Copies of this chain bind each other. A is one copy, B any other.
Amino acid sequence: MTDPELRLTQMISKLRTLDFRITPQRLAVLKILAHSTGHPTIEWIYEEVRRDFPTVSLATIYKTATLLKGLGEVVELETRDGRHRFDGNKPYPHPHVICTQCKQILDFEDASLETLIREVSAKTGYEISDHQLDFFGLCPQCRKEIDPSDTLEQ
């Protein structure tokens, strides 16, 4: 996990540099995205921001998230649950392990991906700029709940 305060500072600097305004609503969204490792949805961010700004609109959350995504300060993931999720703490592509039951999302480190990207590029002639690697399955918790005899071996 990147230091959330550092990420927040980086995001604010980026906005300032490009002459975007730091409004209270934006700041609230930035804070949430910089701190969260849980890959929040728009709806979740909205609910959080509403605690401090009861009149904030979903549109503002969408616009802010889209802005940050465009600036590369946030990455968007597609998790097959019909809604977009964001990661502002590690704003670069990285593998996820997603529980199909409880929707928990884990980050996963893997060094071999860089090699693979070069291989893809060489074989296809594509200029690869982004990627997405997600694993789907049951987390240990949900495995137990579905089949109590599951020993979690293998």
* Residues of A bordering B, CB below 8 Å: 78, 80, 95, 97, 99-100, 106, 108, 110, 112, 116-117, 120-140, 143, 152, 154
Which residues from chain B contact A140 at a C-beta distance below 8 Å? 124-126
B143-A138 in contact (CB<8A): no
Residue among A117, A133, A152 with max Cβ neighbours from chain B (10 Å): A133
CB-defined A-B contacts under 8 Å, sample of 29: A97-B124, A100-B129, A106-B124, A106-B126, A108-B120, A108-B124, A110-B116, A117-B135, A122-B154, A125-B139, A125-B140, A125-B143, A125-B152, A126-B135, A126-B137, A126-B138, A126-B140, A128-B137, A129-B136, A129-B137, A129-B138, A130-B136, A131-B133, A131-B135, A132-B132, A132-B133, A132-B134, A132-B136, A133-B133
A127 to B100, CA, bound (A): 10
